[in-house]
Amino acid sequence: MHFFFSIYSCRSRYRLAVVAVMVCLAGCASRPSAEVLQPAAIQQVESEKVTLLSVTNRNKVKEDGGFGSQWASDLAYERYAFSIPGDRKGSAIIYPSGRPDPRRQFVVTGRDQLTRKTWIDDATRSANFDGTVAVFVHGYNTSYQEALFRVAQIAADANTLSPPILFSWPSAASVTGYVTDRDAALYSRSELESVLKALAETPKIKRVVLLGHSMGGFLSMEAARQLKLQGRDDVVGKLQIILAAPDIDVDVFRSQLRDIGMLRNPIALLVSKTDRALAVSSILGGERPRVGLIDIDDPLVRSEIKAAHVSVIDISSLSSSDGLGHDRYAALARFGSEFVKAEARARASGDVGVLVFDAAGAAVASPFRLAGQIVGH
């Protein structure tokens, strides 16, 4: 597998971009405190209502009722209700202020602590439940509340049938905490594994969509690998793994694929060769290439993608709200039906390979018009 051959043709340019990107990361708008997790009473306005579930192995912070960056020994289960602005712009999130304005801001309107059993029951309680649950695993430099609000945005845009689930691992939520976060992700493998087992062992659940963003993609693959090595094909067989801007070393990814083996549902990669955050991650990792930066225009890359039996979707055309091109995946949620249709077509025909997302046309299509024939029929 040679996904990375074309990634570093502009290595010096990436080195020069590091300082600029780190400054951008450090200079972002002030981050939301745990106060945004407290339910607010709001006036009835035209807005969307979203319910989601969360599970975390972060430490509980008594002072503000939130979750910190320390590693907890037990999992905490919660349910949240959100009011989402009906006239929102793209995937940007506006956090609530002292006097929340539901016309502009995302607002928590309900919060409940749950037992593990109640949490599982809630995952399948929707009247329109279709047998699929979705688990989101956030990336590096992310606080609990940031991850929670992102899941609310994705859920509102995707119009999901069952409450989406956030698995929040103890990221330090710090620009300088990359190594610390990698350790925390590795620490969290067994906890994510236990969550996936609990869901897959629920008779009503036929499919578990596991969406890992950035370093959360690394954690997702490690949990799937661990399940496979345990012989839990009953769990792995229900997984549909989607890796958004995966911050995974290419050789590590190759090893993970080898251990996991062929999946019933091919792993899907959402990539962009202009993701500046991953460019920095690559350099921090000793200039090791990252899977999320693969260049689908490279014929060798396309050939290796097909051989690896993975699906790759280039989302470079989607807008980004972080200024780095690292959160483009969040904009894909509103086109979720198109993604599902394309994924189903590829799975049914065995046409696994490269897809390009055309944001202007809101469609996922095989890029024959862009790069010639990529996979045979």
For residue 178, pLDDT over 50 is answered with yes
Confidence of residue 305 (pLDDT cuts 50, 70, 90): confident
Residue 149 pLDDT: 97
Per-residue pLDDT tens digits for 128-148 = 889 999 999 999 999 999 999
The number of beta carbons lying within 10 Å of the beta carbon of residue 127 is: 5
The pLDDT of 10-35, averaged and rounded, is 55
99 CB-near residues (< 8 Å, 6+ apart): none
Residue 237 pLDDT: 95
Distance CA 280, CA 326 (A): 11
311 CB-near residues (< 8 Å, 6+ apart): 266, 267, 268, 269, 343, 346, 352, 353, 354, 355
For residue 177, pLDDT over 70 is answered with yes
For residue 14, pLDDT over 80 is answered with no
Using the Cα atoms of residue 184, residue 208, residue 234 and residue 309 in order, give the sign of their dihedral: negative
Residue 15 pLDDT: 44
The pLDDT of 78-106, averaged and rounded, is 91
Residue 5 pLDDT: 33
274 or 285, which is more confident: 274
H or E stretch covering 158: helix 144-158
Residue 272 pLDDT: 87
- Which residues in the chain belong to E strands, given as ranges? 47-61, 66-85, 107-114, 132-137, 165-168, 207-213, 239-244, 268-271, 311-314, 354-358, 363-365
287 or 29, which is more confident: 287
The pLDDT of 44-48, averaged and rounded, is 74
The pLDDT of 266-284, averaged and rounded, is 85
Residue 342 pLDDT: 63
Strand, helix or coil for residue 37: helix
Q: Report the mean per-residue pLDDT for the chain.
A: 83
Instruction: Using a pLDDT cut of 70, give the percent of the chain over it.
Output: 80
Are 83 and 109 contacting, i.e. CB atoms less than 8 angstroms apart? yes
Residue 337 pLDDT: 61
For residue 276, pLDDT over 80 is answered with yes
Distance CA 71, CA 168 (A): 11
Per-residue pLDDT tens digits for 339-356 = 666 666 656 665 556 766
Order of strands across the sheet with 268-271?
Answer: 107-114, 66-85, 47-61, 165-168, 132-137, 207-213, 239-244, 268-271, 311-314, 354-358, 363-365
Structural domains of the chain, with CATH = 7-371 (3.40.50.1820)
For residue 321, pLDDT over 80 is answered with no
Residue 294 pLDDT: 85
Are 242 and 270 contacting, i.e. CB atoms less than 8 angstroms apart? yes
The pLDDT of 52-58, averaged and rounded, is 97
- Range with lowest mean pLDDT among 28-32, 227-231, 233-237: 28-32
Residue 9 pLDDT: 39
For residue 166, pLDDT over 90 is answered with yes
147 CB-near residues (< 8 Å, 6+ apart): 136, 138, 166, 168
For residue 335, pLDDT over 60 is answered with yes
The pLDDT of 275-291, averaged and rounded, is 81
Residue 13 pLDDT: 43
Residue 347 pLDDT: 60
Residue 8 pLDDT: 37
For residue 187, pLDDT over 70 is answered with yes
Residue 164 pLDDT: 93
The pLDDT of 143-171, averaged and rounded, is 93
For residue 338, pLDDT over 80 is answered with no
